[in-house]
Structure 1
Amino acid sequence: MPVLSQIFIHPIKSTRALPLTQARVEPMGLEHDRRWMLIRPDGSFITGRESPSLVRVSAVPTEGGLQLAAPGVPELRVQAPPADAPRQEVTIWSDRCSAARVGEAADRWFSQYLGEPVALVYVDARMERPVDPKYAGPEDRVGFPDGFPLLLLSRASLEALNARLPQPVTVEHFRPNLVVEDCEPFAEDGWKRLRVGSVELEVVKPCARCVFTTVDPQTGEKAKNGEPLRTLTEFRRMNGKVMFGQNVLVRRPGMIRVGDPITW
């Protein structure tokens, strides 16, 4: 029987993965996952695709905020903005929504680290970002992931990929929230409705992969040989896109824990 073997959150979009042994699953995904994001002055979102050094930033949830650490800058603690915080229109791919500004201290910290003017924004109770209606219902919402509340990947699929690569990569290259063991490679391609403990999930579409997969999650350096994206392109191309892992919606929230069985 498949089991949940790893849980990850990324509190700020594109920052270092934080492994957990248990997590609260909310309608928008795992608690604290991608609820913060960096933007440029025009409101466009910033990711590790164009700013790979973001993966070296550690963002650890604290009571009401985050503890930040990164190479070459002092640590900083930031608090979630209050209800009356200034707001900013932000763009995430084709979506536009209104997010809360976190504050000048966080903006200065990240601007110094990245070497360009940026701002930190937050998913507050007023932000509304629907999931793509082609795959979700009108009530489904998402924070700052690329498009869906959760990303799932099986360990067997990663091993099948690594068997084709000149050097293996880690699961963190693909930034999943949920990693499943004890199933066949790419079994997740056929999954539809899942139960993890008391939580119910709906698998809605494969995840299209990009150049971010070539960024080393520890060093922030891009692989000169284009791996693992180059090899994925050879055997995981579907409808003109490279697919690896599955995008998931939450149908019943609750707690999940490493070791929970995956049932249908």
Structure 2
Amino acid sequence: MYTLSELYRYPVKSTAYEPLQSIRLDALGLEGDRRWMVVEASNGRFLTQRLLPQMGRIEARWQDDFAALRLRAPGMDELLVKVPGRDDNLRGVLIWRDMLQVPDAGDEAAQWLSRFLGRDVRLVQMPEQRARQVDTAYAEPGEHVHFADGFPLLLIGQGSLDDLSAKVGRPLEMLRFRPNLVVTGAEPFAEDGWKRIRIGEVTFRVAKPCSRCILTTIDPHTGERDAAREPLATLLGYRNVNGEALFGQNLLAENRGELKLGMPVEVLE
């Protein structure tokens, strides 16, 4: 039997993970997942650990039923940021090829983040009404995504990580790959062959494999890069398709509902 063994969300794109016991899904994926993003103050371009590994040391947690965001980081006072109105203080931002107008979270949040990151940045928020269309090569019109790179959900099989760890020669942290859902009980890379799955009352379409980047070489606890570029180097050796290292599957939820750890995972197609 396949089982949902881990659940994670990332309230601010590219900051520290939040482990969950249960969570509901909304129109954009897991409730509260990647609804905030750090951008360059000068041009609105999105920022991640690819450029600023120290972003992984920022802890973000939702407060008061998604009315505010609590930020913590080493050496910094805790900061509570209220969710701006969906049409308040709109700022133009760029995430990959998508140009958006989204609410800016204000000067206090910008100063806090700029001080910690050593760079002039702003914090922006994604209201559901301003979400991005998922690439229609893989999704229907009207299927939207938050500030994730391309898709609202990422699934990885524990067996796949175990296989990669064996090839690298040491245990690897699942959080290097920043999944939302982890499934145990399946053979390594069984998820490559799945087309539709069901967890609890929620059904998901498997959209496409996830192409991995340099972010996988950053230790999720220390923010340090691996000098040997592992595990990306090993992935490129045996999971290379057209020059891309594939690991994990991007999902689209077909309906809403609640997920809980320990739920069975049923492969429908």
User: TM over 0.5: same fold?
Assistant: yes
Choose the corresponding residue for 2:83, options 77, 80, 83.
Answer: 80
Deviation per residue, 1:195-252 (Å, 9 max, x gap): 1000111101000000000000001111111111011110000122110000011101
Instruction: Establish whether residue 37 from structure 1 lines up as the match of residue 37 from structure 2.
Output: yes
Distance in 2 separating the partners of 1:166 and 1:188: 23
Distance in 2 separating the partners of 1:238 and 1:28: 28
Choose the corresponding residue for 1:193, options 193, 196, 201.
Answer: 196
After alignment, is 146-155 or 117-126 more displaced?
A: 117-126
CA contact 1:98–1:128 (8 Å) conserved in 2? no
Choose the corresponding residue for 1:209, options 201, 208, 212.
Answer: 212
Aligned match of 1:167 = 170
Deviation per residue, 1:96-126 (Å, 9 max, x gap): 1111111111000000000011000000144
Aligned match of 1:56 = 57
Return the TM-score normalized by structure 1. Answer: 0.98
CA contact 1:160–1:185 (8 Å) conserved in 2? yes
Q: How many residues align?
A: 264
Change (3 A) 1:125 1:162: closer
Secondary structure in structure 2 of the residue aligned to 1:74 = coil
Q: Which structure 2 segments of 5+ residues have no match?
A: none
Distance in 2 separating the partners of 1:141 and 1:156: 30
Aligned match of 1:220 = 223
Distance in 1 separating the partners of 2:205 and 2:214: 27
Distance in 1 separating the partners of 2:160 and 2:37: 29
Secondary structure in structure 2 of the residue aligned to 1:218 = coil
CA contact 2:28–2:128 (8 Å) conserved in 1? no
Instruction: Establish whether residue 135 from structure 1 lines up as the match of residue 138 from structure 2.
Output: yes
Q: CA deviation at 1:12?
A: 0.2
Aligned match of 2:95 = 92
Q: CA deviation at 1:82?
A: 2.0
Q: CA deviation at 1:67?
A: 1.1
CA contact 1:26–1:250 (8 Å) conserved in 2? no
CA contact 1:27–1:251 (8 Å) conserved in 2? no
Letter in 1 for 2:180: N
Aligned match of 1:121 = 124
Letter in 2 for 1:36: W
CA contact 2:175–2:220 (8 Å) conserved in 1? yes
Distance in 2 separating the partners of 1:82 and 1:142: 19
Letter in 2 for 1:206: P
Q: CA deviation at 1:253?
A: 1.0
Aligned match of 2:243 = 240
Aligned match of 1:112 = 115
Secondary structure in structure 1 of the residue aligned to 2:144 = coil
Letter in 2 for 1:123: M
The runs of at least 4 consecutive aligned structure 1 residues that moved more than 3 Å come to none
Q: Which structure 1 segments of 5+ residues have no match?
A: none
Q: CA deviation at 1:84?
A: 3.9
Using the aligned pairs only, state the percent identity: 44
After alignment, is 92-101 or 108-117 more displaced?
A: 92-101
Letter in 1 for 2:46: F
Secondary structure in structure 1 of the residue aligned to 2:38 = strand
Secondary structure in structure 2 of the residue aligned to 1:163 = helix
Aligned match of 2:105 = 102
